[in-house]
Each structure stands twice: as structure tokens, then as C-alpha cells.
Amino acid sequence: MPFLKDLNIAQREAVMAIDGPVMIIAGAGSGKTRVLTYRIAYLIQKGVYPDNILALTFTNKAANEMKERIKSLIGRKADGLWMGTFHSIFARILRLECEKLGYGRNFSITDTDDGLALIKNIMAILNIPTDTFSPYSIQSTISKAKNKLLTPEDFASKSGNIYEARVAEIFKEYQIRLKNSNSMDFDDLLLLPIKLFSNYPEVLDKYHRIFKYILVDEYQDTNRAQYVLLKMLAAKSRNLCVVGDDAQSIYSFRGAEIQNIMDYQLDFKDHKLFRLEQNYRSTKKILDAAHCVIKNNRFQIKKKLWTENSEGEDIVLLECMDEKDEGQQIVKNIQFLIKKDKYPLNSFVILYRTNAQSRAIEEALRRSGLPYIIIGGIKFYERKEIKDILAYLKLISNTKNNEALDRIINYPIRGIGETSIVKIKQYAFYNQMSFFEALERIDEINTIQDKVKANCKVFVHLIHKYVRLKDEMSLTELVSSLINELQIINEYKLQGTPEALSRIENIQEFLSGVTDFVKTRKDASLETFLQEVSLLSDIDNLENSKNAITLMTVHSSKGLEYPVVFIAGLEENLFPHVNSLESAKDIEEERRLFYVAITRAQKRLFLSYARMRYKYGTTVSQKISRFIDEIEESLIQRSSFFGRMNERKSNVGPDDVKWIKLPENHSLEKTKNAQKKYKVGQEVNHSVFGDGIILQVIGFDNDIKLIVDFENCGRKTLMAQYANLVIKN
């Protein structure tokens, strides 16, 4: 096949090994997407039907890019291919099979915000205070439990402290309420197919016959549930090809398990292993820096990236006074490169460990007048006006969706007050019915005023009307008609504020999005549209064509590349993050995260850190990250603003740098005094957790964290200034 000539030897071997289990360890920038797309094209050219191929990715963006590449190789032959994210593919399967599990095919997908609202509602009913038990933490704990395939009953049996016992109560009620409202959260989209395949072997056999070849992108990011699903689907054909890089495993916080790479090798002992080590993205110096860092990790599959690209420029280290100075120096270097090397604005990305770091950088960019976009701000589909319309559409699709109804029952204002809503919800609860069913029986609720009853009936009639119309008109007509009937745009026009006008533009953009969806999808329906929207990510919406500087967290940058990369905030307790300092395992993940950040860079790489940073209302002295120390000094040129610039490499940046010298030990005494109160080995008492022993003291000043081993509930990490610990010895 002519297109195989485009591949290097290692890539070609990986593409042509189509039978049996295959693991491809693909280093950063080594062309893994090309290998996956060429492998699919090769399979089809060898006579495999497209609908017998399942290709799984982690973003819609990646899936769409691969589809376009395959189309460019073999044309329309690839039509019928099962390709998409884990969640979208298994949501598609559940639409076909979910009735066996007691769900209707019109089930709703509960997003993170709606799931959180449901948890808060359950906590209120169970009288669990939100100031003692964080709803966000509870949501995360439930999600992690599901990723580990734990049912509410499993979790309850394993709970070992007050917090876990409370979570178990909420978890049980949470699942009941989701089921009763014919809804699934994101984790259910993976958990329920496992239940389906386990309880109905004939259904699993059906998909064994369909999926004869399975390919997985970014395999290192799979969680336990995803791996179990892959094992189940590949059990018969054993044609499971996984592509990933253990050095880029950075999502353990959302359930990803690097152990899946090792488990694959054990479960598929006859697998073929291919290493892709030639990098096409970065300069030699950038790759050398990445290798300097990642070689310090013990848990890894050994490999050494190499490239035929040029040596490239030295890596620049910006030593800054504080976060404000850091923002300014980043901007000055961008301006310098634009002027000197004619880089367009979309060549630059600024990466940081936490979203909070963006503030100082944004301020510097705004002052400079340089346009920028932020990944991780308010997403389009999370804007109020869009969520309002989506709530209507969710309710029309599934009238059992209580969260959607709760949002729009009195929007636009229709005279149904909070007191009446509470009474209706109570009636629904005591009669074991949905919120909407209670509205349909509003005449039976004697405590509701006649005027309010009349308003409820108008609303019910409206929803019934559109439930009927969704099967009689196109999706575009349905949405347009609904918006016009609700007079949302007219309401914003009357307000006349810039914000209101912006909301109108967003609604119009939403309508355009619906139209595009209908044009491009053969299976366009209200349910498929809502599913698509629910499963979108920030990166899916990244506008590569927009000429602006990009700001994002390192986690969000995975899979992307830019000519010029800035990595900000390279300080101990920030990067690596303070929460990672408890274990060697967590430090290794932080190092992998830094490796990912470095390998986004094609031509230029800038690192920066601040000597001081404003935290919790005070200025705190910062220590340079250990990761910078791991890079060979010969690869780095230091641009210092605290003393003399390294004369050997004094031509590195803008000419107008400020020279500031700080007292050498300006913060040492303060730090020592702050740490005197707490010592390793101290016995302490906490009002909730009981007695414990301090194992570790981390950080400085008001940022001190304590790792405490409690007798009754195990190891906890606490902020010292808020913990109110009583020292016993």
C-alpha cells in the first residue's frame, strides 16, 4: 500500500502487526496518531469491514482528527467505523441495550454541575452539613469509587470512618435518584456496560461479533472500569491494540491507573511490543531536558527519545521576584520573540500547574494589549443562558429529569414561587414519583394556591407540546420554536446591557451549533445532540485558528503542541504540588506532568519561577522546583532579575530587564518561627478525627500542611491554620 511509505520502520512494523494483542509505547511527538490512523486504514485495505473496528480516544477532537486523516488516506471506505471517546461509544451502546437494565432509551446524562446539585439536595434531606462534609469531595469520592467498580453496598462495607460512612449514605441515595429520574452520570456510562455484559452474556457475544479489532489511544489514561470493558470486549478476538506512553500518565486524580499497562502485559502475555522513539516535534535540547527529568522516575518502561531535528536554542529560565514580575517577564519575552522571530500569537502557550496562577499572567497580558484565550474558563455550554435552554431540552427528552426541571420551572418567571416548589417536591417524594409527574397531578396538592396551579398547568402543557413536537419536526425547528415561544431573546433585548447582548449572541451561536449538528450527523436527534453536548471537553472547543496566546493548565495541554512554550510557577509546593509530597508515587506523577509540559514545545522552551508568591493574604518565600535542578545546567540559560545575568549567556531576552537584589536571608527567620509550633512525632487531637500523630510538616508560614496519622480514620492532610489541632505533648 503506497501510504505505508510515509512511515518510519518502527511505525510501519506497528501498523502491519494486525493480528493478536499489540502494545505500542509511543513517546511524545513520535507520531502515535499517524500510527493509529494508518493502522485503521491498513485494516480496511486488508478487507476488514469498518463496522468491525472500534477505535477509542479520550477527546472528540482526537477522534475527529483521526477520522479526517483516515478519509484522506482511503476516502469513504472508512464510513461505518466505530470511533469516539469511551463515554460516547458506550453511551451509544447503552441507548441500544439499556432497557435490559431498567432504563429508558431516552435517558439523560447528568453533568458534573447537575450531579453536584443532586448531592447537595440529598445532603439537605439527610441533614448532613455542607460545612463539615464538602459536596465537592463527596462527588469526587463517589466518582473514584465507581471507577474502581464499587457499588454503594461495596463502598459501605469498606467504609472505615465517619466521612466514608456519610458518603456511603449519600452514594446509595444518589444512585437511587439517578435511576428514578432515568439518568446516568459520566461514571455510569462505563459502569453500566460492565453490568450489562456481565448479566447478559448474549449481549456481550453480540459485540464480540461486531468488534473484531479494537484500538485504544492514550491507553495510559484508562481507569479500572475502562480496562475491564476492554478485556471483556477483546476476550474472543484478542485483537486489542493499545497505544500510549507511561511517561505521560498524569490523570490518577480522576481514576487513571498506570497499572493498566502492567496488567495488559500480564493478561495478554502473547502481546507484541513496539516502541516509537523518534520524535518529530521538538529540538534536541528540549528532548534532552525532558530525558533529564523523566529518567529520575523508577516506575517506567525504558525508552530514549531521539530526533533528527536541529539542536535548537537553550532553555531559558526566568528568575522572577514575584508572580506579578513573572507575568511581566513572560509578556516581555513574548513581545521580544514576536519582534525578533516574527512568531504569530497562536505560536505561544503559557502553562501552569493550577488555574489560580492565570490571574497575574492575565493582568500582564491585558496591560500589554496582547490577545489571549483561556482553556478552563467558563465553557460555552456552561453559560447561564445556554444551560437554561439545555435544561428545557433535557426535560423534553426525559420528563423524569428532576434537576433540569428544578432549573427552569420558574424561568422565565411564571409565578411559581419557591414555597410552592418545595410543596410539589414533597408531594413527589412521599408519593414516589418524579417532580414532573407531581406537576401533572397539581390539582391533588391542596396546599397550592389556585393561581399557582394554573401557572403549573401552563408549564406542563408547554412541555407536553414539545415532547410531541420533537418527533414531528427537525431538531433545528424544535429548538428555534422553543426559544421563540419562551421569548428569551426578547427578554435580553429589553435589558439592553452589554452582558445581555452577549447572551443573545451566545443563543444565536447555540442555534448555529444545532444546525451544524443536524447537517453533519445522520443520527441527529434531540437525544444524540444532548449526549454530544454532555460529553464535550474544553479541548474539543479549542480554536487553533484564533490568533491569540493560549493559557491553560498542564493537564489540559496533553496531546497539544506549540512552537513556543512557557511553564510558569516552577516552585516547590506548587510544581510539584504540595499535595503530591506525601509519597514517591505522587512525586513521580508530578514529574510525568512536568515531562508532558516540556514535550509540548517544538522550538523554544521557557521556564519561570518566583522567589516570593502572595498566598492566603501574605507574601511567602518560595523555593525553586526540584525538577529544574534535574535538568543539566548546560541546557539552561538563566535570565536573572535579582543580580547579574549569567554573562556567558547574557543575550537571551529583552533588553529592558529590571535589576533587583533581595536580602539573601530575608524570609528564613520567619519560616523557622512558623514551623516551630509543629514537629514530626507530636501527638495531637482533632475535634472530628480524634487522636493522631504528626508524620510530616510541609510548607512555610500560613501555607503549612500537616500529614497526620489518626487512630480511627487513618492518614489525613490538613492545613495547619484551619485544623485547630490540640498538641498533647
Q: Which residues are catalytic?
A: 32-33, 217-218, 248, 600
Nearest in space to 710 (alpha carbons), one of 696, 687, 693: 693
Contact between residue 622 and residue 574 where contact means Cβ atoms under 8 Å apart: yes
Q: At what angle do helices 135-147 and 162-180 cross, to 10 degrees?
A: 80
Positive or negative: CA dihedral 551, 554, 559, 565: positive
Distant-in-sequence, close-in-space partners of 484: CB < 8 Å, separation ≥ 6: none
Contact between residue 214 and residue 21 where contact means Cβ atoms under 8 Å apart: no
CA distances from 468 to 106, 388, 473, 626 (A): 14, 20, 9, 62
Contact between residue 633 and residue 317 where contact means Cβ atoms under 8 Å apart: no
How far is residue 292's CA from residue 310's CA, in Å, rounded to a whole number?
Answer: 18
Please give the DSSP secondary-structure letter assigned to residue 271.
Answer: -
Please give the DSSP secondary-structure letter assigned to residue 370.
Answer: -
Distant-in-sequence, close-in-space partners of 22: CB < 8 Å, separation ≥ 6: 14, 240, 241, 242, 271, 272, 274
CB atoms within 10 A of CB 692: 25
How far is residue 481's CA from residue 265's CA, in Å, rounded to a whole number?
Answer: 55
How far is residue 599's CA from residue 663's CA, in Å, rounded to a whole number?
Answer: 36
Retrieve residue 260's grid coordinates: 493498566
Cα angle: 144, vertex 554, 314; to 5 degrees: 150
CA distances from 659 to 325, 636, 641, 667 (A): 12, 20, 5, 20
Nearest in space to 539 (alpha carbons), one of 527, 522, 524, 554: 554
Catalogue the long-range contacts made by 407-415 (C-beta closer than 8 Å, 24 or more residues apart). Answer: 409/439, 409/459, 412/486, 412/487, 412/488, 412/491, 414/455, 414/458, 414/459, 415/451, 415/452, 415/455
Q: Is 615 helix (H, G, I), strand (E, B) or coil?
A: strand
User: What is the greatest pairwise CA distance in the chain?
Assistant: 86
Retrieve residue 501's grid coordinates: 447582548
Phi first, then psi, for residue 600 (nearest 5°) are -80, -20
Beta-bridge partners for 364: none
Retrieve residue 564's grid coordinates: 513556543
Distant-in-sequence, close-in-space partners of 344: CB < 8 Å, separation ≥ 6: 547
How far is residue 506's CA from residue 498's CA, in Å, rounded to a whole number?
Answer: 12
How far is residue 111's CA from residue 495's CA, in Å, rounded to a whole number?
Answer: 30
Task: Read off the amino acid at residue 609.
Answer: Y
